[in-house]
Amino acid sequence: MKLLSFKIDGRTSFGAVVEDKVVDLGRKFEGRFADLVDLLKANALAEAERAIVGSAGDYPLSNIEFLPVIPNPPKIICIGVNYETHRTEIGRDPSKMPMVFARFPSTQVGHLQPMTLPPETPTFDYEGEIAVIIGKAGRRISQENCWEYIAGYAPYNDGSIRDWQRHTAQWTPGKNWYQTGAFGPWMTTRGEIADNQTLHLLTRLNGMEVQNADSTQMIFSIPFLIEYCSTFIPLEPGDVIVTGTPGGVGVRREPKLFMKDGDVVEVEITEVGVLRNPIRAEVV
């Protein structure tokens, strides 16, 4: 399945994509689940799959407002410097353990929604990434058992304000400006993607390819990240692990390539879909 969160006619719901339409699972389940997090907590993915069988869809995709796939994740755990190409381009020494930081849910926008360029900086950079959505609660999850804890995968743009990121050794300010991260258009569930399948990641800015990598190039694999993160904190349904960006970021190009008002940025996971967002300067 492809699951998403959306708004229509001023109402928030969640659903499944069937060709070019959305099945409104919020309505179909008659309010039993408030959102996708509730659906995951109830271990109801199989029930959702049965509910869409034979459905022609309720609304065209073109009629909905896309929300972040999980608008209200309990946690967004981001991994820094997790591709050798990115580690090399920034000149960072190899690390024995992942670099981990947090992003807040209010910093996210959905597919086709503007990512906001604040007036305080010109250094708005793209970071195409593979997001893993957790489907089952667990602590100290082994790498061997990690796959059963995954609900699905989605494209993510960990938009970064580079000058604020460098204020100190801690990255929180540069990674948490309002409406600078994008998450969507949907999550493809584990049932459609084989465990340990290679996922192909591309980022384009105004149609120009700026990043191209695949999940085999991660320094710390998805199983390792789940094991590592679940060791220091229990993982919950709806948690999101954003697994790192490959080389090609704008701040390390010559000349530098930052996103500006009117640009369009795309993050594609070939096996999942394309996340597309315009860049809009914030008016204050």
The amino acid that residue 200 corresponds to is: H
Mean pLDDT value of segment 198-207: 98
Which H or E run includes 6? strand 2-8
Per-residue pLDDT for 56 more than 90?
A: no
Whether pLDDT at 98 is above 90: yes
Report pLDDT for 77: 98
Q: pLDDT tens digits for 146-162?
A: 999 999 999 999 999 99
pLDDT for 284? 87
Peptide bond into 185 cis (omega under 30): yes
Q: What pLDDT score does 238 carry?
A: 98
* Percent of the chain scoring above 90 in pLDDT: 92
- Percent of the chain clearing pLDDT 70 (strictly above): 100
Mean of per-residue pLDDT scores for the chain = 96
Structure tokens at 254: 């010559």
How many residues comprise the chain?
Answer: 284
What is the per-residue pLDDT for 90?
A: 84
Q: Looking at residue 68, what DSSP letter applies?
A: P
- DSSP-assigned letter for residue 36: H
Q: How confident is the model at residue 171 (pLDDT cuts 50, 70, 90)?
A: confident
How high is the pLDDT of residue 94? 86
Q: Strand, helix or coil at 104? A: coil
